[in-house]
A and B are shown apart, each in its own frame.
With several copies, the nearest count.
Chain A
Amino acid sequence: MAVTILFLGPLRDLAGKQALEVQAPLDWSGLLGAVGPQVAEQLAAQRVNVACAGKVLADKTRLNAFDGDEVALLPPVSGG
């Protein structure tokens, strides 16, 4: 089975897609490798949060996603 990576907000445009399926399990380095260099650069920046299975991770570098989990990449929300 697989882990689904979701690109939210402007990251969707940067990734060129809305979602991506990868092999489980998925950790932080696996994530950085899977999303392509542009999204990986954004991910490394502090302001992008990562949610796994519906919870925002306090420390995204400790990502540990299993079979069937959804990993959402959450850029800062918009102002205005």
Chain B
Amino acid sequence: MVARITIDTPLDVRLLDKGLSVGEALAAFNAAHGEAGGVVSFLGKVRPDGDVRALELSHYEPLTLPAMRELTETARDQFALDGALVWHRIGVMTPGEAIVLVATAARHRRDAFAAADYLMDHLKSAAWLWKREKRADGWHWIEPRGQDHEDIARWE
């Protein structure tokens, strides 16, 4: 595979307004962390639920990226990571498209798993993202839900 993506920083945090190539991103991440014993990734995609035709994520630039960076640094320190990749889509997406890609590289498998899980549990509240769905009758904002707070409470 021709690597069109290069990762040259241990913590690679990005907000993307276009589609992301998951295979290439993970190939680049693996190449950047050749010495890590374990690499875990999570890919979240827009689910084709009911009559949802599109999903839009809006964010507040001055807060979103710094918060994602801070979260990723915390995860690195807490789980002794060699590196992490945290990429989040913004803008309008259709079902099947990637929303979020997280990857963690660590010496030991358990740390890589725990860090990816931790990042996903905290990302939604750290990232200041608002979501709305387009259905047959127009756009609808997605409300906050209790599950997110429970997800974070797992780590306290």
Contact = CB atoms under 8 A, between A and B. Distances in A.
Contact of B131 (A6, A56, A80): A80
B58 A79 contact: no
A13 B132 CA distance: 12
Contacts of A54: 62-63, 66
B147 A79 contact: yes
A79 B130 contact: no
A13 B141 contact: yes
B129 A80 contact: no
Contacts, number: 56
Interface string B114-141: 0000000000110111111000000001
Interface of chain A, main secondary structure: loop
A78 interface: yes
Contact of B141 (A10, A47, A51): A10
A8 interface: yes
B96 interface: no
A36 interface: no
Contacts of B148: 79
Contact of A77 (B62, B125, B147): B125
A49 B114 CA distance: 30
Given A72-B62, A77-B144, 13 more contacts: A10-B141, A54-B66, A56-B63, A74-B128, A75-B130, A77-B125, A77-B129, A77-B130, A78-B141, A78-B142, A78-B143, A79-B148, A80-B142
Interface of B: 58, 60, 62-63, 66, 124-125, 127-132, 141-148
Interface of A: 6, 8-10, 13, 47, 51, 54, 56, 70, 72, 74-80
